[in-house]
Structures are given as structure tokens and as C-alpha cells.
């Protein structure tokens, strides 16, 4: 009987991702399946990315009759790291179904690490799962985590419905972006950032293996790549070597970076020459006071310099922004609004601060929290006692979106973006007023 390796992530249960339609194959899950195959195990893979419920999992169990079921959430995936309760419920239901089918069950991923008590009936892996899953399948106690990422196999993308991934991307975005990973973990210390899988460790492919991975991805003919790394190319010398290897056959890519990395030396040139067309930075706030409270180890000046340099190199810039971090004042919020006006990133993603277990931020606000997780990322609900009411943050978010839409609009962005402008224009005064009133500056 085979081992069934399953991802628990159902995109239709995550309305924000369902609307965004940027599905990525669950790399971490697929690599585990491939590692087991390399050791001679018969393995089948279940990927419910496009399934609306867990009924199809029951069918899969009946068809494959596995003796062991490993439900492995992809630790590279941002939606997975959100630990949404809708996804937890789906995974718990999968555990029950597998147990009813007579299989032994293992669960791994950020949410089982944070909430092992929620997964009764399953063996729970705490943190990095690769070696733990192998040891479980082979009946040993969990061994040490793997350190040499170059030894990991490439995932078998034929294990998922790759055509459907491609179709959804092209239908919504006019291109298909495939995910790759060159690193695990992040050594920085931002105190709200959850690191349930790799902690503050950092482990990276060699530049040669990373370049070979890009070459492997080329065989699937993606239009663009997305490096899932928390921070791509933390070491400038690594990036310089990657550039040397990849430049003649580069594929356009997007990645995450940090402002303090980008502001130095040849980094931006190397990024651009490697094929980078867009970076996302955790700008978080326009207030140095808030950035310091987050232990972000970057300043507004870093963000400004990085944005300017990236734009000069022809690289688009996205800002992740956070509202409501403990201690954030009305003036801090306005510093964020003014930073976006001044720097004009090409894209912004705005959310309220979200305390995840295991973080210093969570420890500080734990006593104030009624519930711990959003059911869906659409919730954007402040889960602790923030300085202002929920409506204030909702309106600041709308204000940021409206101002950004107007400031960055140009005809080349197309009709869809233009169509949002009247909406933003109508709502801008409303939200501006609400921010002032709810922020206690007018009434």
C-alpha cells in the first residue's frame, strides 16, 4: 500500500487568495514526496489546491487505500503561514478521514507546529518536516534536520494539475508565474514575524544549484518565476555568483528583499542582471519609531534609498505595509501615508498587524486576544487591543489604496486599473473623514 503525501491547502477556502488567483504548487509537499520515492517508497500525492471541500480527499483515500498519510503544508507558502482557521478545519477533517480509512497519519507545517493540540489522532511534526516524515514512514524516531539543501530532489510537478495552475494564472494575469525556492529561513529578528519551521536559521542553495533550478524550471516554460525565499539573496557575494551563472539565460523573476540590503553596493545591478523585474519589501511603516519597535533593523531612509535605486534599475517595487502595531500613533499612521505618497511604490499590500504564536509581538498582546487566528485573510481584523477602533484601520487601508491608485496610475496600466479610479475618488473623502474622526482629530 502506498504512502499518501497530501497538501492541506484548499484555495477556495481562502477567499483572498481565491480572488487573487495566484496559485503556486506546494513545493515543500512535493519535495517530501520525491524524497520518499528516492528511498524506494511507493508514493501518491494529493493536492487539493482547487478543491472546495475535503470530499475529494475521501475519494482519494478510497481509491489509493494508503497505509500512511502525511499531511504536509508547504512551509514556503505565505497563505499557509497565515494559519487560517478554515485551513486548520480542512486539515483536521483530512486527519479524521484518513484515520477512519485505517491509515496512520502525520501532520506537519506552521499550524501544527503552533497548535499541535488541534491535531488529535495524528503524529505532529514540530518545525522542519523533511527528515521527520522519512523517519516516520520508516518507523524511526525523528532524526536531525537536513542542512545541505543542494541534496534535495526537485519536486515532480506532474504530481499536481500543473495545467490548471497555468490556466488560472493566464486567465487572470495574462502570464504564468512558477514558484521556486533557493533558501530556507531568515536570520533577521522582526519581532512580529513567525518562523515556526526554520526559526532564525538560514540555509541556502549554492549559486550553482540555484542556477540549475532555474534551468529545470525553464522546461515547464513559465513566463516568470517567483522566489519564495523570505529574503532572496541575503548574501551579496551569492547574488553576484548567481548573476554570473544566470545572466545569459535569465528568466524574469520576482522576489522578496530588504531595504537595507538593496541600498548597498552592486546589489541592485546584480538583481537586475539576474532577471529581477519586481521586488517586494517589508516596508511596514513610514515611522522610524514603529520600525524600531518592530526590531525591523531598517529605517525610512533605507526604504527611500532602496526604492529609488530599484526604480532607477527598472525594477518594480512592492511595499508590504502594516497598520496597528502596538504603540502606533495617529502621526505614525500619517507617516506611512506620506511615505507612500512620496516614494510611490508600484504596488502595495496593506494589512493590520497579526500576532502569530511564537513571536515577541504575540507574547506581548496574548492576554488581550479573544481569538488567535483569522478564519480568512479577508478578515483583516485587529485581534488585540490596538490604539484605535477597527474602523479606523479599515479606513486608513482604503485611504492608502485610493491614494496609491491615483498617484501611480498611468495609461499603460490598462482599463482594469483605470476602472477602479472613480471608485477610489468617490470613497477617498469618506475615508479621510473617518480616519480623522476615529483617530480623535475631529468630531
User: Which residues in this chain contact ligand SF4 in the complex, by CB under 6 A?
Assistant: 186, 188, 190, 193, 230-231, 258, 282
Least distance from ligand SF4 to the Cβ atom of residue 259, Å:
10
Q: Cβ closer to ligand SF4: 124 or 193? A: 193
Q: Cβ closer to ligand SF4: 256 or 395? A: 256
Least distance from ligand SF4 to the Cβ atom of residue 81, Å:
10
Please check whether residue 300 is in contact with residue 287, taking contact to mean a CB–CB distance below 8 angstroms: yes
Q: Cβ closer to ligand SF4: 251 or 303? A: 303
> CA-CA distance, 304 to 239, in Å (whole number)?
22
Q: Cβ closer to ligand SF4: 136 or 232? A: 232
Q: Cβ closer to ligand SF4: 178 or 190? A: 190
Closest CA relative to residue 47, chosen from 62, 36, 38, 60: 60
> CA-CA distance, 68 to 397, in Å (whole number)?
45
**Region for 284 from its dihedrals, namely left if φ exceeds 0, alpha if ψ lies in -120 to 50, beta otherwise:** left
Q: Cβ closer to ligand SF4: 123 or 353? A: 353
Helix (H) or strand (E) holding 158: none
Least distance from ligand SF4 to the Cβ atom of residue 296, Å:
7
Q: Cβ closer to ligand SF4: 135 or 295? A: 295
Q: Where are the alpha helices (DSSP H) in 48-173?
A: 55-64, 78-81, 85-100, 110-114, 130-137, 162-173
> CA-CA distance, 210 to 212, in Å (whole number)?
5
Cα torsion angle, 118, 123, 126, 127, sign: negative
Least distance from ligand SF4 to the Cβ atom of residue 231, Å:
5
> CA-CA distance, 428 to 396, in Å (whole number)?
10
Q: What is residue 13's three-state secondary structure?
A: helix
Q: Cβ closer to ligand SF4: 6 or 231? A: 231
Least distance from ligand SF4 to the Cβ atom of residue 182, Å:
14
Closest CA relative to residue 187, chosen from 131, 230, 144: 230
> CA-CA distance, 93 to 100, in Å (whole number)?
11
Least distance from ligand SF4 to the Cβ atom of residue 247, Å:
26
> CA-CA distance, 162 to 49, in Å (whole number)?
11
Please check whether residue 211 is in contact with residue 180, taking contact to mean a CB–CB distance below 8 angstroms: no
Least distance from ligand SF4 to the Cβ atom of residue 305, Å:
17
Least distance from ligand SF4 to the Cβ atom of residue 307, Å:
17
What lies within 8 Å, CB to CB, of 311 at 6+ separation is 317
Amino acid at each position: 500500500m502506498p504512502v499518501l503525501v497530501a497538501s492541506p491547502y484548499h484555495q477556495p477556502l481562502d477567499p483572498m487568495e481565491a480572488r487573487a488567483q495566484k496559485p503556486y504548487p506546494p513545493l515543500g509537499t512535493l519535495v517530501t514526496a520525491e524524497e520518499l520515492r528516492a528511498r524506494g517508497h511507493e508514493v501518491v500525492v494529493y493536492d487539493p489546491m482547487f478543491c472546495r471541500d475535503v470530499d475529494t480527499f475521501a475519494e482519494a483515500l478510497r481509491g489509493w487505500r494508503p497505509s500512511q498519510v502525511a499531511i504536509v503544508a508547504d512551509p514556503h507558502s505565505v497563505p499557509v503561514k497565515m494559519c487560517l482557521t478554515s485551513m486548520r478545519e480542512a486539515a483536521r477533517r483530512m486527519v479524521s478521514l484518513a484515520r477512519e480509512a485505517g491509515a496512520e497519519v502525520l501532520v506537519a507545517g506552521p499550524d501544527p507546529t503552533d497548535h499541535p493540540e488541534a491535531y488529535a489522532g495524528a503524529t505532529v511534526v514540530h518545525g522542519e518536516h523533511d527528515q521527520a516524515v522519512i523517519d516516520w514512514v520508516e518507523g524511526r524516531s525523528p532524526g536531525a534536520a537536513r542542512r545541505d539543501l543542494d541534496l534535495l530532489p526537485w519536486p515532480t510537478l506532474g504530481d499536481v494539475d500543473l495545467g490548471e495552475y497555468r490556466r488560472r494564472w493566464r486567465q487572470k494575469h495574462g502570464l504564468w508565474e512558477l514558484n521556486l525556492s533557493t533558501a530556507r529561513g531568515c536570520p533577521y529578528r522582526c519581532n512580529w514575524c513567525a518562523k515556526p519551521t526554520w526559526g532564525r536559521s538560514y540555509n541556502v542553495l549554492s549559486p550553482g544549484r540555484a542556477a540549475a533550478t532555474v534551468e529545470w524550471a525553464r522546461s515547464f516554460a513559465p513566463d516568470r518565476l517567483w522566489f519564495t525565499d523570505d529574503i532572496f539573496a541575503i548574501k551579496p557575494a551569492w547574488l553576484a555568483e548567481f548573476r554570473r551563472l544566470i545572466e545569459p539565460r535569465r528568466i524574469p523573476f520576482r522576489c522578496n528583499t530588504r531595504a537595507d540590503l538593496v541600498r548597498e553596493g552592486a546589489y541592485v545591478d546584480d538583481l537586475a542582471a539576474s532577471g529581477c523585474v519586481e521586488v517586494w519589501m517589508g516596508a511596514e511603516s513610514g515611522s522610524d519609531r514603529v520600525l524600531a519597535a518592530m526590531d525591523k533593523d531598517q529605517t525610512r531612509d533605507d526604504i527611500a534609498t532602496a526604492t529609488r535605486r530599484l526604480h532607477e534599475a527598472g525594477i518594480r517595487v512592492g511595499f508590504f505595509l502594516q497598520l496597528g502595531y502596538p504603540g502606533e500613533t495617529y502621526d505614525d499612521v500619517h507617516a506611512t501615508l506620506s511615505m507612500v505618497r512620496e516614494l510611490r511604490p508600484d504596488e502595495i499590500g496593506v494589512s493590520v498587524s497579526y500576532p502569530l504564536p511564537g513571536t515577541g509581538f504575540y507574547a506581548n498582546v496574548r492576554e488581550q486576544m479573544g481569538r488567535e487566528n483569522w478564519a480568512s485573510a479577508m478578515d483583516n481584523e485587529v485581534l488585540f487591543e490596538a490604539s484605535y477602533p477597527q474602523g479606523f484601520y479599515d479606513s486608513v487601508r482604503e485611504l492608502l489604496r485610493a491614494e496609491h491608485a491615483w498617484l501611480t496610475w498611468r495609461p499603460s496600466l490598462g482599463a482594469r486599473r483605470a476602472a477602479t479610479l472613480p471608485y477610489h475618488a468617490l470613497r477617498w473623502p469618506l475615508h479621510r473623514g473617518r480616519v480623522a474622526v476615529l483617530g480623535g482629530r475631529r468630531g
